[in-house]
Chains A and B, each alone.
Chain A
Amino acid sequence: MISLLEARKNVPLIVKSISRGEMGMRGIGGRGRGGGGGGGRRNWCRRFSNMGIREGVIIKKISMHPFFGPVIVRVGNCEIAVGRGMASTILVEEVNE
């Protein structure tokens, strides 16, 4: 199990879990606070899930923008831009086809 940030691009990845750890909570700016869209981890888990990112789903990492830019993820037929902090909490494994 690796974080989405470390995963290879353009290969099918299965979402294993959304990390409970503190990584990514630091997010950006704001005296070390921020990240998470103004509402704690549970909330952010649900936002992932609403967009189709949840355990057992196959996703693809399309690109990762440099200098701590967002990660572009393909889920089903749509693409989602996820900030790095949030993306680091998505734990995935490569799927062997």
Chain B
Amino acid sequence: MKRILLFGNPNVGKSAIFTRLTGVRVVASNYPGTTVEYLRGKTRIDKKDIEVIDVPGTYSLYPDSPAEKVAKKIIDDSNPKETVIVNVIDSTNLERNLNLTLQLLSTKFPVMVLLNFWDETKHKGITIDSNNLSKLLKVPVIPTVAITGYGIQELRERLSEAKPSGFKIKEKDTWNFVGKIIKKVQVIEHHHHTFLQVLEEISTHPVMGIFFAGIVLLLSFAIIRLIGEGLIGFVFAPIFENLWAPVLLKLSAFLGNANILHKILIGELIEGKIDFYQSFGLLSTGFFIPIAAVLPYIISFYFVLSILEDTGYLPRLAVLMDRLMHQIGIHGMGIVPMFLAFGCNVPGVLATRIMETRRERLIAATVMSISIPCMAQTAMIFGLLGKYGFKGIAPVFLTLFLVWILIGKIMARYVSGESPEIFTEIPPYRVPHFQVLLKKVWLRVGWFLKEALPFVLIGILLVNLFYIFGFINFVSRIFGGLLTNILGIPAEAIAALFIGFLRKDVAIGMLAPLGLSMGQLITASVVLTMYFPCVATFVVLFKELGFWDTLKSSAIMISSAVFVGWILNLIY
């Protein structure tokens, strides 16, 4: 035996079992030719290294979604003589889970069944006769509790007992057969509602759920800020200031101050020192911004997202947001990329992959890049307009929200393709498994570094070159006059707009010393947020949407930014 495939429905605790088996050496990769990710790791059983694959959650072997197609492909690409399928079942949902089990038993592979969440059956008044189930299915059946590790040792010891069961059952008879099995092995008694179940009811209630969601989201953002700023202030910024800056200063002295290589790599020295926010070199600002300013927020965002995901809150949020999201032609699950975009648009755009169709992805990515300010931008908007209080800040976010709805509505009307309805399981609330959670955050951050960081650096290099060779000045002189007339902000501020392509938050910062009026600041903040995504997001958009859709998306962004800026100029 060389390989274990962990198969199961979504939300059955497969990842926790996977983590129990494999420890730390885990690789996440896209299955060849798809955007679906799956996890691979290694475990040692009987002094042999065995590959363990966490197959994407699937309800059946007749695939309906990209993830299920990958699950099917993994089976097709495995050798039945060297592979054992470990089928993880949610014991509180035996009936539905057995559908997949019977399909797996009909393959040539040796199968072993794990009854996970075994402890929860007691709270829910469910009794399952696992020995009898094992006899009926003709394969080993082991009760497990992945979070505590209960049953994992037995799984290791009895893995060799797994054998092909030789079941032959037609698709149409499967459910009948499941029904018969259930009658023989499962007894359900009435039980009282637990605290978590009361919470479950509240959180999907059409009215109370909204309040609950408000609290959860506020709390989430507070935690994200706390962790993000903590990481920047106490970890990343000190590392850059104390360790990296001296290295760069040495390099600067070595290169000599005036040549072009110095300009590209280090940028300008501010009062003889490296200023990581203003030097604009590839190794100074170019490294600092994605790693020390954005990455901490990515880490904290992924941490909170993983908690929301593993407790089971995300699908509930999706249900509540479904109506709102339909306004822009995507269903409730679209809230996930939107939520991420508030941290940074880059992972937001990457997360549009969870949407099923091209139309949904194009709408979600465009609308998000236009009207969702990332954490850095939000902070700068507050910095600029905070002194005016509510009447300064509210118009910015209100405008952005209206733009979000309007552009979404227009795109939903004119972008062709399908928008499926929401159809999702709402799993019970569960306490997340901390190790699984950390591993997930770690994998996601690694993925961000691999998928996004190189492109961000390339983008920054390009813009630096444009800037050094006067291209940006040239462009802002050509369009400056026109934009000044339309937007009603002075020419110096227009230069900030073009810098905005590099770093929007820095651009907003450039507006501070110009002494603009409140109306001008509001206009500039909105236009800056809308007109174009930062270079990092742009590169990722290009990667995810392809050339034509990025072009469409950009055209929508620029024209709508100018239009909205013009309207705001008329109002103020």
A interface residues, Cβ below 8 angstroms from B:
27-31, 33-39, 43, 46-47, 49-52, 54, 62-70, 72, 75-86
Q: Does the CB pair A85–B421 fall under 8 Å?
A: yes
A residues in contact with B206, CB < 8 Å: 63-66, 69
Given contacts A30-B417, A38-B357, whether A46 and B60 have CB atoms under 8 Å apart is yes
Q: How far is the CB of B334 from chain A (nearest CB, A)?
A: 12
Q: How far is it, in angstroms, between the C-alpha of A39 and the C-alpha of B356 when the chains are bound?
A: 11
**Minimum Cβ distance to chain B for residue A89 (Å):** 11
Contact of B323 among A46, A68, A75, A85 (CB under 8 A): A68
In the complex formed, the residue of A with least CB distance to B420 is: A37
Interface-side segment among B276-284, B379-387, B423-431: B423-431
Q: Which residue of chain A lies nearest to B62 when distances are taken between CB atoms in the complex?
A: A46
Q: A51-B425, A81-B423 are in contact. List 4 more A-B contacts (CB 8 A).
A: A30-B416, A37-B420, A49-B175, A78-B96
12 contacts between A and B (CB under 8 A): A34-B421, A37-B423, A38-B420, A62-B201, A63-B205, A68-B326, A69-B206, A70-B319, A81-B315, A81-B424, A83-B322, A85-B421
Q: Collect the chain A residues with CB atoms within 8 Å of residue B320's CB.
A: 65
How far in angstroms is the closest Cβ of chain A from B319?
5
Could you tell me if A79 and B425 are in contact, using CB atoms closer than 8 angstroms?
yes
Instruction: Kindly report which residue of chain A lies nearest to residue B331, judged by CB atoms.
Output: A83
Q: Provide the bound-state CA to CA distance between A83 and B332, in Å.
A: 10
List residues of chain B with CB within 8 A of the CB of A54.
Answer: 175
Whether A83 contacts B175 by the Cβ 8 Å rule is no
Task: Report, as a range, how many residues of chain B touch the other chain.
Answer: 35 or more
Instruction: Report if B163 contacts A (CB, 8 A).
Output: no
Q: A46-B64, A65-B322, A76-B93 are in contact. Are A34 and B420 (CB under 8 A)?
A: yes
In contact, A51 and B421 (Cβ under 8 angstroms): no
CB contact under 8 A between A81 and B420, given known A66-B206, A76-B96: no
Residue from the list B126, B419, B427 in contact with A78, Cβ < 8 A: B427
Q: Find out whether the CB atom of B425 lies under 8 angstroms from the CB atom of A30.
A: no
Q: In the complex, what distance in Å separates the CA atom of A51 from the CA atom of B64?
A: 12
Residues of A with C-beta under 8 A to B62: 46
Please name the residue on chain B nearest to A29 by beta carbon. B329
B433 interface contact, C-beta 8 A:
no
Question: How many angstroms between the C-alpha atoms of A29 and B362 in the bound complex?
Answer: 14
Query: In the complex, which residue of chain B has the Cβ closest to the Cβ of A82?
Result: B423
Is A28's CB under 8 angstroms from B419's CB? yes
Quick one: CB contact mask for B422-463 with A, threshold 8 Å, 1 for yes? 111111100000000000000000000000000000000000
For window 344-375 of B, CB contacts with A under 8 Å fall at 356-357, 359
Give A34 to B175 CA distance when docked, in angstroms: 29
Query: Which B-chain residue is minimally distant from A55 (CB atoms)?
Result: B175
Residue of A nearest to B319 (CB): A81
**Is A28 a contact partner of B329 (Cβ separation < 8 A)?**
yes
| A65: min CB distance to chain B, Å | 5
Residue of B whose beta carbon sits closest to that of A64: B206
Question: Is B309 positioned at the interface, with any CB of A under 8 Å from its CB?
Answer: no
Tell me how far the C-beta of B123 lies from the nearest C-beta in chain A, rounded to whole angstroms.
Answer: 11
Contact present for A80 and B423 (CB under 8 Å): yes
CA distance A64 to B204 in the complex (A): 10
Establish whether residues A30 and B426, one from each chain, have CB atoms under 8 Å apart when the complex forms. Answer: no
**Do residues B204 and A72 form an inter-chain contact, with CB atoms below 8 A?**
yes
Within 8 Å by CB of A69, from B126, B322, B416, B420, lies: B322
9 closest A-B pairs by CB: A83-B421, A50-B59, A29-B329, A79-B426, A37-B420, A52-B96, A69-B323, A34-B419, A81-B319
B359 to chain A, nearest CB (A): 7
- How near does chain B come to A56, taking the closest CB pair, in angstroms? 9
Which of A47, A64, A77 contacts B93, CB < 8 Å? A77
Shortest Cβ distance from A84 into B: residue? B421
Q: Is the CB of B423 within 8 A of A28?
A: no
A9 CB, nearest partner CB in chain B, Å: 11
The answer on a CB contact under 8 Å between A86 and B423 is yes
Contacts of A86 in B (CB 8 A): 421, 423
* Interchain CA distance A77-B205 in the complex, whole Å: 18
| CB neighbours of B332 from chain A (8 A) | 70, 81
**Residue from B315, B417, B419 whose CB has the most chain A CB atoms within 10 Å:** B419
Give the docked Cα–Cα distance between A31 and B59 (Å).
31
Kindly state the separation between the CA atoms of A43 and B63 in the bound complex, as whole angstroms.
9
Which residues 196-212 of B have a CB within 8 angstroms of A? 200-201, 204-206
Docked CA distance A83–B428 (Å): 20
Residues of A within 8 A of B356 (CB): 37-38
Contact A63 B204, beta carbon cutoff 8 Å: yes
Q: Residue of B at shortest CB range from A69?
A: B323
By beta carbon, the residue of chain B nearest A30 is B419
A29-B412 contact in complex given A69-B206, A76-B93, A78-B426, C-beta closer than 8 Å? yes
- CB nearest to A80 among chain B residues: B425
Residue B99, interface by CB 8 Å: yes
Name the A residues within 8 Å of B476 (CB-CB): none
Q: Tell me the bound Cα distance from A65 to B318 in angstroms.
A: 12
* Most chain A C-beta atoms within 10 Å of own C-beta, residue among B62, B320, B359, B418: B418
Asked if B377 CB lies within 8 Å of chain A CBs, one says no
Q: In the complex, what's the smallest C-beta–C-beta distance from B67 to chain A, in angstroms?
A: 13
Bound complex: CA A34 to CA B412 (Å): 11
